[in-house]
Amino acid sequence: MNFLVKKSASLRGEIDIPGDKSISHRAIMLASLSEGRCEISGLLEGEDCLATIEVFRKMGVKISSNEGVYYIEGNGIKGLKQPVAPLDFGNSGTSIRLCSGVLSAQNFPTTLIGDSSLSSRPMQRIVEPLTLMGAKISSSQDGTLPLSILPTESLESIEYTLPVASAQVKSCIMFAGLFSKGKTKIVEETITRNHTETMFNAFGIPVEITNSGSARTISVAGIETLKPVDINICGDFSSASFFILAALISPDSEILIKNVGVNKTRIGFLHALRHMGANIEILNEVNEFEPTADILVKTSNLKGITLNTDLVANMIDEMPAFFIAAALAEGVTKVKDAKELRTKESDRLQAMANALEAFGVKYHLSQDDIEIYGLGSEGVLKSAEINSFGDHRIAMASTIGSLRSDSETKILDCENVKTSFPNFVETCKQIGININHE
């Protein structure tokens, strides 16, 4: 699927965003491990989360849905069944890494596979800590899929300092910690998104958090049972980021995005944009197990900044949108230490550099740093043909950038937008974006 996008006039309206992908994965997993029925509303019905659902169905968990509400009959902590075939996680790095923590503790073998994109992503970062816990897990010689997990009698608790800022690695160890003897401790020197911690709390799992300077230690002990909980999932901030960007860069625009998750470990993008001069208001904030709010965004003249390196891990999924904001800001924007962008669904650092070049934006890319020379609030991007490399976030960021192009822009290979935002095109049209697909 390719997107065809033309320059749009002012954008206006109120929109709802699909459920948070990170929270949806975790809700499915914990509900499947609980003893009883969980009702989950707002769950993202994108391909990544549907892959997680199918994985647990293959391990004997009964999951049904009615009018967007999902009902999960949990099998209990020790109740998963051996699947009859390899477990296919599609494109979902979150799901395969988190589920590896659960599957490493089971009394049956499993093989974990994914699509071509997922099969190129690094898995040694979870193999190492799980092996330290006593898991019998191995990857390919290249440190990628498939993963092979053999039964183990028990997992041991460890204290592990994350070598990279990764919520997926942290969460993998936390899930494994539910099955381990003693207390598992994970030390992160850069704070990453804390959806696993908040979801554990929602299900009544004790999580101990201590801070020492800039480092944070998360401690989890093994459990015997898990009670079912009903969960209402808020809108995905990463999906909202594209429409925040759209309102900022389009003339005379104002968009209200309803019921979005505003967890402080996820909204670095807002902090960065406000530093650039963005007119963004947080309205009607409520705090249940995750804080949510409405986000009101108006057209703004942005200025280039040097991005705080502490924000890179926080806004890792919003960086493609941030690069487009930088391209249309006044002056130079500098981003350093963004190497983690190279290990996502695509090499996002190179993919976005390619997109900027196609749009006619000058930049300097060196190793894991980039400087973007913005065109300013009156700047016009060149119409182009942009390769998204099958990466949903590259596709959506490039789509929004096309709103400031001089003619029609074609975004190639956009099928994977369905992994996180199935109704992206319809939502674009709802606020006046001129988009079609072929």
Domain residue ranges in the chain: 3-19+234-437, 21-232
Topology (CATH) of 21-232: UDP-n-acetylglucosamine1-carboxyvinyl-transferase; Chain (3.65.10)
Q: Is omega for the bond preceding 146 within 30 degrees of 0, making it cis? A: yes
Question: What share of the chain has pLDDT > 90, as a percent?
Answer: 97
Q: Which of 193, 145, 152 is nearest to 176 (CA)?
A: 152
**pLDDT for the residue 8:** 84
Task: Dump pLDDT digits (tens) for 371-405.
Answer: 999 999 999 999 999 999 999 999 999 999 999 99
Domains 3-19+234-437 and 21-232 share a fold: yes
20 noted as active-site residue: no
φ, ψ of residue 418 to 5 degrees: the values are -65, -20
Residue with structure tokens 């075939």?
A: 85
| Element at 212 (helix H, strand E) | strand 208-212
**Pair 12, 256: CB distance under 8 Å:** no
**pLDDT for the residue 213:** 87
**pLDDT for the residue 9:** 84
Read off the DSSP letter of residue 116. Answer: T
pLDDT band at 214 (very low <50, low <70, confident <90, very high): confident
| Whether pTM exceeds 0.85 | yes
**Cβ contacts of residue 78 below 8 Å, gap of 6+?**
none
**CATH 2.40.50.100 fits domain 3-19+234-437:** no
25 token code pair: 């994965």
**Cβ contacts of residue 237 below 8 Å, gap of 6+?**
20, 260, 261, 262, 263, 266, 267, 269, 318
Write down the catalytic residue from 317, 337, 368, 406.
317
Q: Residue 149 above 90 pLDDT?
A: yes
Over range 138-160, report the average pLDDT. 97
Cα 51 from chain centre: 15
